[in-house]
Structure 1
Amino acid sequence: MRETQRIADQLRRAFDGDAWSGPSLQATLAGTSAAQAAAHPLAGVHSIGELVRHLATWAGTVAWRVEQQQQTPLTNEDWPAFATDPDERQWQQAQQELQSAHQRLLAATEFLTDTSLETKVLQAGGSEVTLYVLLHGSAQHYLYHAGQIALLRKFL
């Protein structure tokens, strides 16, 4: 198995598979209503909807950086707003944007060769990171925010 296939497997596990660390991002989001997604049960903390929009932004941005093999700006703002009183359609749309960005990231990952994983891309602030580190960081990002979502759901 190629290393890029292994990384794609880790992305899938973190997003909607059998993650070693616990429930995947999608399992954590399952059953969340639009009202719950918009709620702010803790002052100064992002809502579930904001976290989903943030994850979609970063999955799309990383996919673009992998496709271009260079630094690219954020595809959207880092923390896009989520409606304060959304209907279920708006919530489903936010989740679909995340799903689409994830599928694009998987496709970009699987298109890479193992050798290209050592390609360095410039990050904001001037540091460089390999595509290998960037892709592993994406899986970690999914699970980091899945943990936050799980905690928010406990407070709802």
Structure 2
Amino acid sequence: MRETQRIADQLRRAFDGDAWSGPSLHTTLAGITAAQAAAHPLPGVHSIGELVRHLTTWAGTVAWRVEQRQSTPLTQEDWPAFAAAPDESAWQQARQELQSAHQRLVAAAEALPDDALEARVLQEDGAEVSLYVVLHGSAQHYLYHAGQIALLRKFL
């Protein structure tokens, strides 16, 4: 098995598979309503909906960087707003956009030849990192925010 296939497997596990660390992002989001997604149970903390929109931005950005093997500035806002009073269809659309961005990221990872994993891209802070690090970081990013979502659920 190629290394990029192994990385794609880790992305899948973190997003909607059997993550070693605990529930996947998809599992953590299961059963959350639009009202819960928009709620701010803790002052100054992002809502679940905002976290989903943020994850969508980054899955899409990383997918583009992997596909092009180069840096690109964010094409969307880092923390897009989520409606204060969304209906269920808006919430489901946000979840579908995240699913689509994730699928694009996995496809980009699988299409990448192993020898391209050392290609460097520029981060927002000016540091250069390899695509290897960016792809693993994406799986870590999913699980980091899944943990935040799990905590927010407890406050709802």
Specify the TM-score bucket, using the shorter chain as the normaliser.
over 0.9
Give the structure 2 partner of residue 139 of structure 1.
Answer: 139
Residue identity opposite 1:12 in structure 2: R
State the TM-score, normalized to the length of structure 2.
0.99
Q: CA deviation at 1:123?
A: 1.4
Q: Distance in 1 between matches of 2:58 and 2:133?
A: 14
Letter of the 2:64 partner, please give it.
W
Q: Does 1:109 align with 2:117?
A: no
Give the counterpart letter for 1:70 in structure 2.
Answer: Q
1:45 partner SS: coil
Following superposition, the deviation at residue 75 of structure 1 comes to 2.3
SS in 2 for 1:41: coil
Gap runs ≥5 in structure 2: none
Match of 1:86 in 2: 86
Q: Aligned equivalents of 2:154 and 2:123: distance in 1?
A: 35
What code does the residue aligned with 2:36 have? Q
Runs of 4+ in 1 over 2 A off after TM superposition: none
**Partners of 2:124 and 2:144 in 1: how far apart?**
21
- Hey, what's the Cα distance between the residues in 2 that align with 1:41 and 1:132? 36
- State percent identity of aligned pairs: 83
Structure 2 residue 50 is the aligned partner of structure 1 residue 46: no
The residue identity in structure 2 corresponding to 1:105 is L
- Give the unaligned 5+ runs of structure 1: none
Matched residue, 1:74: 74
Q: Indicate the residue corresponding to 2:29 in structure 1.
A: 29
18-27 or 119-128: bigger deviation? 119-128
Following TM superposition, by how much is the alpha carbon of 1:73 offset from its aligned partner in structure 2, in angstroms?
1.1
TM-superposition CA deviations, 1:81-133 (whole Å, max 9, x none)? 00000000000000001000000001100000110001111112321000000
C-alpha separation in 1, matches of 2:56 and 2:116:
24
Q: Which residue of 2 aligns with 1:15?
A: 15
- What is the SS of the residue equivalent to 1:118? coil
User: Which residue is equivalent to 1:64?
Assistant: 64
Q: TM-score, structure 1 length as denominator? A: 0.99
Partner Cα separation in structure 1 for residue 83 and residue 125 of structure 2: 31
Alpha-carbon distance in 1 for matches of 2:57, 2:75: 6
